[in-house]
Amino acid sequence: MVKESSSILVVEDDSYLSQHIGIYLEEKGYQVAGMVSSGEEAIRQVEVLEPDLILMNIVLAGDMDGIEAAGMIQEQHDIPILYLTAYNDTKFLTRARITSPYAYILKPFNEREFGLTIDFALHKHELEKALRNNERHLVDAQRVGKMGSWEWNVVENKLKWTDEIYRIFGVDPEEFGASYEAFLSFVHPEDVELVKEAVEQALQHEQPYSIEHRILLHDGTIKIVHEEANVQFEGKGEPLWMLGTVQDVTEHRQSEERLRLFKSVIENTREAVVITDSKNRIVVVNDAYCEITGYERDELIGIDPGRMRSGTHDKKFYQDMWQSLKQDGSWSGEIWDKRKNGEVYPKWLSISAEKDSRSEVGHYVGIFTDISEIKEKEQRLTHLAYFDPLTGAANRLHFMERLKQEVQRAGRLNDWFAVLFVDLDRFKAVNDLYGHDVGDEVLKEAVLRIRSCIREADVLARLGGDEFTLLLTSDVDDEGASIVGEKIVDVLSQPFLIGQKKIEIGASIGISVYPRDGDSLEKLMLNADRAMYQSKKNGGQCACFVDERLQKEVERSLFIDKGLNKALEQEQFEIHYQPQIDLHSGRIMGMEALLRWNHPEEGIISPVDFIPRAEAIQLIVPIGEWVLKTACKQLKEGLIN
């Protein structure tokens, strides 16, 4: 449609005619943008005025005629040009044709024809612009959609492609001889017969076809394309044209394949997967999620996973979780939830926040593993590390850790507590007479009886064999410890019925009380141990406290224990060699190496005093190695004659 008040530039060197044209145009409602008399001036005015139409006289005064001026204008502008001429010279018209004029108006012109020609030129130009815009939109749409269109003249076997198809096939339009055979050369060898059959069916049965196949480009790239086409037939049923589209669906199919693989992985993984929307409502779960939680998929869609909270964690735990998701986009950790049947279970959960194209959180993806078995194994390993597997009592490691904690606690609070050593009397005889199986049953029953005499907060441990220790925690003095000791002696003196066997044992118990009998683990343990041996010397079946003599023995033992390590490091030991003589011949047959400890403060300490302690604290082997190494060195250096 011609816009109202279109502007027209008049290029005419005849001033009278130029004025006449201007008056006519204005009477017809056109706007005269300008009137110039030379080609040079026309070029300059076009840049300034940008008219909708140019009336150009072919023959102009000056160095540049209208045809040359029109050519230069069209190089820079899309403006329709009408030539004004009084000549019908073939030479002029041939030159003018190169500039693609919209029409020729012969002078003198008829006003009615003149007006119609101008209207037609403006209307035609508007239509051409609209058509070019549509073509550009089509090209853009095809490029975005990766879809091109084609026409195949079946009769002449001429194939016409749009630019997008050339791009899809990776060929230059100038170098590609478009034909059906040329197209088939791009089809993947394994799909050629499929394509041929589809085309033949369409041509023979007058029906459209839709097919998907692969193409093999010259550089070895494989693409997947989707084709659709319709066939046009003449009256006799002969195919004339085939019109169709080609769309590159490679990325789409690859995306579908990736999604299929992802779905397969999600569905087949043993880990539970849950996807929620931005409001934390479940949209997707896999089978593993249903199996672990006990819920059906229909019961889960649309609900908040928070409904399965176990109540194990406090409010701050979840606040920290969501804060981490907001700041870092992810969170992982151990969390306890509840199954449908009410069972509380532990899981290791990882959550990530997935953002959309607007960089806003669109979904949350959670992956978790049920770690119930791992937790159970950890508990079993912890139990094995800290408890006696036979009796279930604490072991030495656990007992010493608890005793250390109790020393620290009582020291802060100025509190009392007691340590008891319990040794079963006549237990070795039970093992020798009835065997270890019966002995084990006796030990288990003994633990049950001892536990009946103590509080839940107290600690019972088996050190090994038939030796047990007790930690009576919190505010236990001599009287309280004595009462517990007597109860244990009493319950262990009662007969044990193991199967059909009646077995009688007893117990010897030693007691040390913090802080009177020691303010350290070592002193308390040694005092209780010495008191237990004192109980055995007294005939057993009793509980003994540490007396002054035993205290001195403990102090002496601790002094030696602490000094032995330093003695080995500082080589305070000495070797005295005593010759071995053959009584018959009187000859020296060898040497006996006698170890002495030359203490820097006490002088020589007898092996009778330090060898038992070295064995007790497991230094006897390192000391023996030192003796052997030193003796060999002295022999090599000739210090032993």
Q: In this predicted structure, what is the pLDDT of residue 555?
A: 66
C-alpha span between 253 and 213 (Å, rounded)? 11
Each residue's pLDDT tens digit, 465-474: 999 999 999 8
**Taking 50 as the threshold, does the pLDDT of residue 1 lie above it?**
no
Range 519-548 average pLDDT: 86
Res. 143 pLDDT band, cuts 50 70 90: low
Asked whether 53 and 8 are in contact (CB, 8 A), the reply is yes
C-alpha span between 274 and 280 (Å, rounded)? 10
DSSP annotation of 190 reads: G
Range 335-364 average pLDDT: 90
Asked whether 119 and 127 are in contact (CB, 8 A), the reply is no
**Taking 50 as the threshold, does the pLDDT of residue 248 lie above it?**
yes
How many CA atoms does the CB half-sphere of 438 hold within 13 Å?
A: 19
**Taking 90 as the threshold, does the pLDDT of residue 557 lie above it?**
no
DSSP annotation of 220 reads: S
Nearest in space to 300 (alpha carbons), one of 290, 309, 315, 312: 290
* H/E segment holding residue 212: strand 209-216
Asked whether 633 and 575 are in contact (CB, 8 A), the reply is no
Active-site annotation, residues: 466
Asked whether 54 and 36 are in contact (CB, 8 A), the reply is no
Q: What angle do CA 185, 187, 189 make, to 5 degrees?
A: 90
- Sequential DSSP letters for 347-382: EEEEEEEEE-TTSSEEEEEEEEEE-HHHHHHHHHHH
Asked whether 592 and 606 are in contact (CB, 8 A), the reply is no
Asked whether 265 and 257 are in contact (CB, 8 A), the reply is no
Each residue's pLDDT tens digit, 99-123: 777 777 777 777 777 878 887 877 8
Asked whether 627 and 575 are in contact (CB, 8 A), the reply is yes
Burial class (CB in 10 A: 0-12, 13-18, 19+), 159: buried
* H/E segment holding residue 592: strand 588-599
Q: In this predicted structure, what is the pLDDT of residue 314?
A: 92
Question: pTM of the prediction?
Answer: 0.48
What is the rounded (10 degree) CA torsion for 339, 341, 345, 350?
A: -10
Greater pLDDT, 90 or 72 = 72
For helices 607-616 and 548-569, give the axis angle rounded to 10 degrees: 80
**Taking 50 as the threshold, does the pLDDT of residue 303 lie above it?**
yes
Q: What angle do CA 128, 130, 131 make, to 5 degrees?
A: 60
Domains and CATH numbers, the chain: 7-135 (3.40.50.2300), 146-253 (3.30.450.20), 270-375 (3.30.450.20), 387-546 (3.30.70.270), 560-636 (no CATH)
**Taking 80 as the threshold, does the pLDDT of residue 168 lie above it?**
yes
Q: In this predicted structure, what is the pLDDT of residue 23?
A: 84
Range 137-143 average pLDDT: 54
**Taking 70 as the threshold, does the pLDDT of residue 130 lie above it?**
no
Q: What angle do CA 330, 334, 340 make, to 5 degrees?
A: 105
Query: SS3 for 528?
Result: helix
Res. 90 pLDDT band, cuts 50 70 90: low
Greater pLDDT, 329 or 475 = 329
List phi, psi (to 5°) of 60: -125, 150
